[in-house]
Amino acid sequence: MTMLKIISNKEDATDVIKSAISAEIKRMEIGLNRTKREIKSFEEKYKMSSETFAKEFAAEDLKRGDDEYIRWAGELEMSKRIKEELKKLKDIEYVAA
């Protein structure tokens, strides 16, 4: 857990920072949902889970080769990174100064 202590002369500074973090969480959740849709479309097209894809397939195994392999792998990596960042932001605890 990350503890965030805000010390400011402005009364609304904490609210502004909380609002900015909340907006970033929402933006990242939208991105994660888009990424999930892309991943799902690959899974449906190739009739396999992303887990199987990541473990067993290479670019030459897919119909469109490198392009689709790179896109699918990229979406999986993006999903992982967004989830990690979202966890960090959601775990922030605000501490009264």
pLDDT tens per residue, range 83-93? 999 999 999 99
Rounded Cα distance, 40 and 53, in Å: 12
The residues near 50 (Cβ < 8 Å, ≥ 6 apart) are 39, 42, 43, 72, 76
49: helix, strand or coil: coil
* Residue 17, domain member (yes or no): yes
| Bridge pairing between strands 92-95 and 2-5 | parallel
Can you name the residues that pair with 92 across neighbouring β-strands?
Answer: 2
For the question of whether the overall pTM of this predicted structure is more than 0.85, the answer is: no
Cα separation, 9 vs 86, whole angstroms: 29
* Of the listed ranges 9-13, 20-24, 59-63, 82-86, the one predicted with least confidence: 59-63
- DSSP character at residue 11: T
Within-domain flag for 4: no
The residue segments making up the domain with residue 24 are 12-95
Does some domain include residue 24?
Answer: yes
pLDDT tens string 36-84: 999 999 999 989 999 998 888 765 666 666 788 889 999 999 999 999 9
CB atoms within 10 A of CB 85: 15
Question: Three-state SS for 9?
Answer: coil
The region, left, alpha or beta by phi > 0 then psi within -120 to 50, assigned to residue 47 is left
- How many domains does the structure of the chain reveal? 1
